[in-house]
Structure 1
Amino acid sequence: MHVTAIVSTKGGVGKTTTAANLGGLAADAGLRVLLLDLDVQPTLSSYYTLPHRAPAGCYELLAYNESSRSQLICRTAIRGLDLVVSNDAQGQLNTLVLHAPDGRLRLRNLLPLFRPHYDLLLIDTQGARSVLLETAILASDLLLSPVTPEILAARELRRGTLQLLRDLAPYRHLGIEPPPMRLLINRVHPVSSNARAVQVALREVLAVEPGVSVLDTCVPAIEAYPRAATAGLPVHRLEYRRPSGRQALAALDTMRALACELYPQWRDHFARVHGRLVDAAC
């Protein structure tokens, strides 16, 4: 099971939308996908319709080491896509995890519960520095960090998210290497050249940052993404062809490119999503 955390110490950059749409594409590609909502604001937990809702969620998982999948796993309306909901309405988990004997390693230690049953685990996190964010990072194989195409956002990335990674470096003494980070430039205006300038600036800033790189894929600021969220659908199902006269790629092409860049080992699976959707539409 590959574990990816979608992280940023800055809110409003599109973490939840990225997690929901990446998970939906991977599930349609035939992968077994689990979404884990660690954001105290449970937006991901309400993105998809849940035909089966489990009685417990992340609170029971992390506070009580709940090990029964029947208590934790919600089934979404997307075949192959499951969810553990955020149900920490009082925001107590940060304090509980901070004082737990296994502390920031608790989620990492609980992952064997899910490994035999899923190919991909996507963790959505809070847009602020927290113990839960650190817990998610230390449990992950890869970090995906959306960045809006603004120079100030790039500077905030260095001050916030990258500093957090540096602060977790002492875990190397326990044999835990900080996972590599991929930066996704998100909400790019289709006719703006600012994204390219931000890409260049980010690559310059990150030249001395080991394990951090900027993805070639950029996500355009198009109406399809909020429409998909309103409909409770992965965006690639809503827009599988580029509208005439628009420069930005179809949402399907963008999400498939992103998935292939992040998980080249499943490239053939992602290619089949294109074939199924186009055949169904014709």
Structure 2
Amino acid sequence: MIIAIANQKGGVGKTTTAINLAAACAGRKKRTLLIDLDPQSNTTLSFLQPEEINAGAYELFTEPDRDAREIIYQTDVPGLSIIPARINLAKLEAKLIGDFDSAYKLRDRLQRIVSEFDLVIIDTPPTLGLITVNSLVAAHYVIVPIQSSYFALEGTDDLLETIEKVRSRPNPELELLGVLVTLFDRRTALSRDVDAHIRQVFGNKAFNTVITRSVRLEEAPAHKKSIFEFAPKSSGSAEYEQLAKEVLKRVQKRASNGRANAA
């Protein structure tokens, strides 16, 4: 099962969600692969030192004859592996332009290894370029983090339109698994109003779990740890554990419905 975490806006908690959702799923005994497709490499640097990395996501795209297993690194989190990003990933968009199969490269590469994992989580860049499109074409589901701020839904229509375009042809199986409210501040009326508005717009697609603004969540990557290792008793730890439970339940429910419909 492949889940892309996408939002073309930066600063919405996308990378934080990718890191901690992956760690939470691994903690629930799911063989989890985390793929960092953001050239900023923040997901990668939460688990690996730069000098440890010999190849990563760029090579996954550009070296089709290379065994993808060679660029999968084990993290210190049991059950969690990562395909890292390096600065050369910033050159990938330009390299993909003009290739007849440019939108399908990630899907084709992952077909060789996806069966070895229970869950693949992709952290996408804050753009709607070819890297994000590749992620959506490869994925079964997409999670959209939305910050509880005044401009929360700004640009969301563009993302949803891109998802529908991907569904219309290259990947009709893609589903919006859910919308996640992040950086929520329970003390402010604005956050509560935005949360209510998001739930009004997206209905049951909005996750019940809300990720509150947390200093611990911001500090954890600097210590190269997930929130579960860095602050296991924090609110962030509890919230991402609850999110993992909700995500896996939704995936299981949709899989069960799919089998029932097939029968």
Q: Structure 2 length normalisation: TM-score?
A: 0.86
- Displacement of 1:20 after TM fit? 0.8
Aligned mate of 1:162, from 160, 163, 173: 160
Matches within 5 A, 1:59-74: 59-74=58-73
**Considering only CA atoms, is the larger Rg found in Structure 1 or Structure 2?**
1
Alignment counterpart, residue 241 of structure 2, candidates 253, 256, 261: 256
Question: Matches of 2:29 and 2:251 in 1, distance apart?
Answer: 10
Structure 1 position 205 matched with structure 2 position 201: yes
Q: 1:81 to 1:51 in 2, by over 3 A?
A: farther
State the partner residue of 1:218. Answer: 210
What CA distance in whole angstroms lies between the structure 2 residues aligned with 1:117 and 1:45? 21
Residues 64-110 of structure 1, C-alpha deviations (whole Å, 9 max, x = no match): 21441442111212121111111352622113333223221111122
- Cα distance between partner residues in 1 of 2:205 and 2:28: 26
Aligned twin of 1:33 = 32
Alignment partner for residue 182 of structure 1, among 153, 178, 185?
Answer: 178
Q: Give the corresponding residue for 2:221.
A: 229
Once the two structures are superposed, the pairs formed by residues 105-120 of structure 1 within 5 Å of their partners are: 105-120=104-119
Q: For 1:182 and 1:266, locate their aligned partners in 2 and report how far apart those are by CA, in whole Å.
A: 10
Q: Is the 8 A contact 1:33 1:118 kept in 2?
A: yes
The one-letter code of the counterpart of 2:175 is P
Structure 1 alignment gaps of length 5 or more: 243-249, 268-282
Matched, 1:78 2:113: no
Cα offset, 1:121, TM superposition: 0.7
Judging changes above 3 Å, is the alpha-carbon distance between structure 1 residues 155 and 223 closer, same or farther for their aligned structure 2 residues?
Answer: same
2:259 alignment counterpart = none
Mapped partners of 1:161, 1:137: distance in 2: 11
| Aligned positions, number | 252
- 1:150-204 CA-to-partner distances (Å, cap 9, x unmatched) read 231213322x312222333431xx5633322411110111322433322332233
Return the alpha-carbon distance in structure 1 between the equivalents of residues 89 and 23 of structure 2.
29
Work out the CA distance in 2 between the residues paired with 1:70 and 1:7.
Answer: 25
* Cα deviations by residue, 1:11-43 (Å, 9 ceiling, x for unpaired): 111111111111111222221111111112111
Q: What is the alpha-carbon distance in structure 2 between the residues aligned to residue 66 and residue 79 of structure 1?
A: 29
Which residue is 1:102 aligned to? Answer: 101
Q: Per the alignment, do residues 49 and 64 of structure 1 end up closer, same or farther by CA in structure 2, a change over 3 Å counting?
A: closer
TM-score in terms of structure 1 length: 0.80
Change over 3 Å in CA distance of 1:132–1:90 after alignment to 2: closer
Distance in 1, Cα, partners of 2:51 & 2:68: 13
Give the Cα separation in 2 of the matches to 1:36 and 1:118.
Answer: 12
Q: Which amino acid aligns with 1:177?
A: E
Q: CA RMSD in A?
A: 2.5
Identity percentage of aligned residues? 23
Counterpart of 1:240 in structure 2 is 232
